[in-house]
Structure 1
């Protein structure tokens, strides 16, 4: 009975889900954006691809650039004061203390690393184009998922949640979900033009930015259903990254060129 109720709840949230853009805040980064997260305290980090790590207040005002050396790519939050950032050129993940503004640890890998996500006290990191690696905070490899060769793009966008990893392949125009052994749970290819940023809602459904079509789509956590949340008519140009506020149904969307932060509310 519990599984039926949870299934009904999931379908209800997909079918009745709506996204509203509350405000669209102009920001002045104007550089290629590779990642963005909402911190637990409501602030937002926007990462310039191999550039600066920008910290914004919850109202979208730029506070500072974090003093993290190197050329960053992806970011995730570990706890209230700690984030982790990938540096593909250095083949490294740097653990950064937000309070002291210092790098406390550098995890060195044997290959280039891109997308990054934290869950269950472990990091999931996209390695080149064909591997997702689960590592602990000391850098020890816990699991390695070898992916099919159809993945043409680097593993730049992934979410690690509930013992599964969901990632987008913008060249292949698809979103995939795999378990921790690398076995494919589902794939979604219906009408995607260039899926990039993604995040999970409180029910485990996947919210995806479809860059070229200027759309935001939700995919049910079983990969069977989807719904258009934001269309091209909503004038959200080239959405690149999306993230939820901690334990909330609202969050932010950022475009690829760092010209706006759009605050959204999700209701179901």
Structure 2
């Protein structure tokens, strides 16, 4: 797999905080979340369409269907389900712990939670807030970022300079530490490989689905500084990267070779 930055798009809105998450919507638009702040809806070319009418304090976002997204609010200890069409919060899922990383798969949500005794768990929950599975995991920091796909959860631990993969039974499938210094944003390609954005080294690294092999796709020398979030566009076999400060988006295509 090879890649090279194809275009760099400057975001034309004033981001007041560091970026905590970014996703691409089914219709091609983007959502960029300011850390504990506002949720920005952008066009596919980086222009601000609007700030969603939802309270500040957001951390992570995931899309559920064409018109619905879910957003974590760590300090409020809840997940808000938001309808994009009528711009209203349709449901609030209350949790008893702080929640950060969030990802949707099929009919459930995976959310990273932190208990009072500093234990970290990834909970698989339904839309009524019922915990279907609770997976205790190893991490030196909060569960900032995770991806839930194919009955597996991959999460980054920037404090431990590692990326982990667990199955739903709680078994650790792999742990990757090679040349990582600040792994944060994650996404999966169509083959189950994981791409990780390292905001310290400036690298985008792809890890094979078995966790055995890896390759640096993009590095700081390619003009990529402080990559924070990464999103894989399945219909184009391309990726978008958002930098930590929310100043620009970088786009690159993936090819075999």
Classify the TM-score, shorter chain: over 0.9
Matched position secondary structure for 2:221:
helix
Higher relative contact order (CA closer than 8 Å, sequence separation 6+): 1
Distance 1:168 1:87, change over 3 A: same
Matches for 1:50-199 after TM superposition, within 5 Å = 50-128=36-114, 130-148=120-138, 151-199=139-187
| 2:197 is the alignment partner of 1:213 | no
Farther-moved stretch of structure 1 (240-249 vs 137-146): 240-249
Cα distance in 2 for partners of 1:155, 1:216 equals 19
Contact 2:189/2:234 (8 A) holds in 1? no
Matched position secondary structure for 1:93:
strand
Deviations 1:198-225 (A, max 9, x none): 0000100000001111110000000000
Q: TM-score, normalised by structure 2?
A: 0.95
Contact 1:38/1:246 (8 A) holds in 2? no
Cα distance in 2 for partners of 1:119, 1:81 equals 16
Q: When the two structures are aligned, how many residues end up with a matched partner?
A: 250
Cα distance in 2 for partners of 1:247, 1:104 equals 29
Structure 2 unaligned residues grouped into runs of 5+: none
Distance 1:224 1:196, change over 3 A: same
RMSD across aligned C-alpha pairs, in angstroms?
Answer: 1.1
Structure 1 unaligned residues grouped into runs of 5+: 1-16
Contact 1:218/1:227 (8 A) holds in 2? yes
The residue number in structure 1 matching 2:8 is 24
Cα distance in 2 for partners of 1:22, 1:172 equals 32
Say which of 16, 28, 48 aligns to 2:34. 48
Cα distance in 2 for partners of 1:50, 1:31 equals 8
The residue number in structure 1 matching 2:237 is 249
Matched position secondary structure for 2:9:
strand
Q: Give every structure 1 segment of 4 or more consecutive aligned residues whose post-TM-superposition deviation is greater than 2 Å.
A: 245-248
Q: CA deviation at 1:267?
A: 1.6
Farther-moved stretch of structure 1 (138-147 vs 91-100): 138-147
Cα distance in 2 for partners of 1:58, 1:265 equals 16
Q: CA deviation at 1:263?
A: 1.7
Deviations 1:94-117 (A, max 9, x none): 000000000000000000000000
Higher helix share: 1
Contact 1:40/1:246 (8 A) holds in 2? no
Q: CA deviation at 1:70?
A: 3.3
Contact 2:206/2:215 (8 A) holds in 1? yes
